[in-house]
Amino acid sequence: MSPRIRFRQLVDGSPLIAPSMLKCDFGNLHREVELLEAAGVRLLHLDVMDAHFVPNLSYGPMVIERMRQLTDLPFDAHLMISEPERYLDDYVSAGCDAITIHVEAVPEPSALLCRIREAGVASGLAINPGTPVEQITPFLPDCDLVLVMSVEPGFGGQKFIPSALEKLAQLKQLVSPETILSVDGGIDVATIGPCAQSGANLFVAGSSIFEAPDYREAAVQLSESASAAASSTI
Ligand code: DX5
Ligand code: ZN
């Protein structure tokens, strides 16, 4: 089974909680991954930053390759980098299951999204808080995943920007039912419900998991809040 199919099969009607590894203890990566597996999470969100597209630097394919040896969990890579086309092959070989690029970095992303799919990986397109949905509408058929940033990309621990909710609702009307709708930034038990009601089904959570004393408890609470909110809209 290709990584793309495996990633798409994660969608089963229940909310997907994706811990953002930006907030993990990198000195104890093996232990962190073990704790997350024990917490029952079904995928990991990997934030790649180049100190150029965003004003922060994180990690790249070498770390992801090492992480790949620690777990079979699907990797949802979020590339906050300029010129992602130059580095795509490295992220594919490192073992990413989904690769998301930013429309602000690649204004005409069709060819690159197709390249991601041709590599057998799920294709994702992200938009920043200041970018209107209209800017990605033509490319939605090329996306397995659409990521709405609910903070300015670059740092964890920021406050959720509520205009992300309108964008999610707008996108929900535009994408196919199979397209994964993801939201990233400031997701906690208070903000996850409105995101689920607006149509999101993948929720990236950094601080709300890694700052909690018990990862399992934190992930379960997020999942329950999302499920409760999503079912109350029906
Ligand atoms: C921000 C990253 C996020 C972030 C999430 O640029 O894309 O994934 O680390 O962290 P929290 O949940 O703390 O906002
Ligand atoms: Zn992210």
Q: Which residue ranges make up each domain of the chain?
A: 3-232
Give the residue, by CA position, lying nearest to ligand 1 atom 6.
153
Fold that domain 3-232 belongs to in CATH: TIM Barrel (3.20.20)
What whole-number percentage of the chain has pLDDT above 90? 97
Distance 157 CA to ligand 2 centre (A): 12
Q: What is the pTM of this model?
A: 0.98
pLDDT band, residue 201 (cuts 50/70/90): very high
pLDDT in tens, 90-107: 999 999 999 999 999 999
What are the DSSP calls for the chain, one per residue? --HHHHHHTT-SSSPEEEEBGGGS-GGGHHHHHHHHHHTT---EEEEEEBSSSSS-B---HHHHHHHHTT--S-EEEEEE-S-GGGTHHHHHHHT-SEEEEETTT-SS-HHHHHHHHHTTSEEEEEE-TTS-GGGTGGGGGG-SEEEEESS-TT-SSPPP-THHHHHHHHHHHHS-TTSEEEEESS--TTTHHHHHHTT--EEEESHHHHTSS-HHHHHHHHHHHHHHHHHHT-
Residue 115 has pLDDT above 60, yes or no: yes
pLDDT in tens, 56-79: 999 999 999 999 999 999 999 999
**Ligand 1, atom nearest to 208 Cα:** 12
Look up 184 and say whether it is catalytic: yes
Residue of 26, 43, 47 to test ligand 1 pocket, by largest number of atoms within 8 Å of CB: 47
pLDDT of residue 23: 86
pLDDT band, residue 24 (cuts 50/70/90): very high
Give the residue, by CA position, lying nearest to ligand 1 atom 9.
156
Residue 189 has pLDDT above 70, yes or no: yes
Q: Ligand 1: which residues within 6 Å by Cβ?
A: 20, 22-23, 45, 47, 78, 151, 153-154, 156-158, 184-187, 204-208
Q: What is the mean pLDDT of the chain?
A: 97
Look up 47 and say whether it is catalytic: yes
Distance 158 CA to ligand 1 centre (A): 8
What whole-number percentage of the chain has pLDDT above 70? 99
